[in-house]
Amino acid sequence: MALHTALRRRNLEFHLLLRCLSAASAVATASPSAILSPSNPSAILTAKQKSRAALSLLKSETDPSRIVDICRAAALTSASHLDRVALSSAISKLSSSLCFSAIRSLVDDLLLSSKDHNPRFLSHAIVLFGQAGMLDDALRAFRSSPSCSSLNSLLFACILSKNHSELAKIFRDYPTTYGVTPNLETYNIVIRSFAESGTTRSFYSVFEEMRKRNFKPNTTTFCNTLEGFYRELRFDEVERVLELMKKHDCHPGLTTCNVRIQALCKIGRSEQAKDLFREMVKSGMKPSWVTYNHLITGFCKEGNLNEAKRLYKEMRSKGCVAESGVYFTLIHYLCKDGDFEAALGVCEDTMARNWVPCFAIMEMPVNGLASSSKVGEAKDLIKKVKERFPKGSEMWKEVEDGMQ
């Protein structure tokens, strides 16, 4: 019953917003007089409101034809960050529904058919095709206007579609075939491809080529390499690269430390990451919330919740404020571990920052508290969430009813 109501309301919201979006984009392409005196002033959305509305609609939309409608109605482009995020989310949904021809016409119409050839739009189109695994379309887009930046997008598209052999071929042949000169970013993308495909050792030959052509490597060059060698468990090579960094005036700082700590946590060696963290602190470097994020996530995944909680406490005591995701990760794992009280503590910290986790995350501690006969705490939590998000009250009804 509650589900029915919610669905009906969503349907209504969809149509209302779609109408607003269409009106807004019609206004955007209309003559100046139509913009100055629109027939329905309440329907006008600013560009930002329009992108936000599209993004929020896309978040919960699964129907491919509606996804296409939203993108077209909002006339999404690559001009703003919000639009890029919205388009990327639409393309990944369409590609998991295997709607490739819809992706092709959408990207062609929204990004590639504008009269004033925008290099930023072209690059984004190439990347979106890569994201959908449509490399032939990415190649077609590149050929329409070859340049260093479109080449870099094409190489990146190969990484996104996990086609590393195609990347190697393009890197070898295209600069000559299309008369394009690679830059440092080109090399960094190629090295990233090695690191992601388990062939990090190829770094050394590309590094030689960079040096011959007088390209000065930067932190990204080395961090990509370090990540790859960690993933391949080549700790001897990690040391070698760290030495190479110093030799090339790229002294490992916080960014490098964070990359190494994350890489160790990813391969399930959080203890080793913590050793590195201790060394880093001892040498006078100040860890950032990113450092704590990697460690907390790493220990959570390895099931060492005590260490995760300890690091969380330490992070707070140092006044580090992390991104909301760190808190939500911790809440999730604490609940999985049955430690609802600790999860409640973290929930309260996030609410003090005005970040209220979404229903899916909050449902776990609430139900956990209720089932461990802490119904009072559970109800308190719901009350606080409702105070912040009066709009979401409906969703909690079922949970509350179950608690009577």
Query: Least CB distance from residue 157 to ligand NAG, whole Å?
Result: 10
Judged by CB under 6 A, the residue of 131, 163, 193, 256 near ligand NAG is 163
Tokens of residue 305, six digits: 């919740």
Judged by CB under 6 A, the residue of 218, 272, 288, 367 near ligand NAG is 218
Stretch that binds ligand NAG, among 217-225, 228-236, 256-264, 282-290 (CB under 6 A): 217-225
Query: Least CB distance from residue 65 to ligand NAG, whole Å?
Result: 27
Query: Least CB distance from residue 135 to ligand NAG, whole Å?
Result: 4
Stretch that binds ligand NAG, among 105-113, 183-191, 203-211, 311-319 (CB under 6 A): 183-191
Does residue 249 bind ligand NAG (CB under 6 A)? no
Does residue 199 bind ligand NAG (CB under 6 A)? no
Judged by CB under 6 A, the residue of 44, 47, 85, 184 near ligand NAG is 184
Judged by CB under 6 A, the residue of 69, 108, 185, 302 near ligand NAG is 185
| CA 38 from centre of chain | 37
Judged by CB under 6 A, the residue of 118, 199, 202, 219 near ligand NAG is 219
Torsion of CA 257, 258, 260, 265, to 10 degrees: 140
Does residue 170 bind ligand NAG (CB under 6 A)? no
Does residue 291 bind ligand NAG (CB under 6 A)? no
Tokens of residue 64, six digits: 């491919």
Binding interface with ligand NAG (CB under 6 A): 135-136, 163, 166, 184-185, 188, 218-220
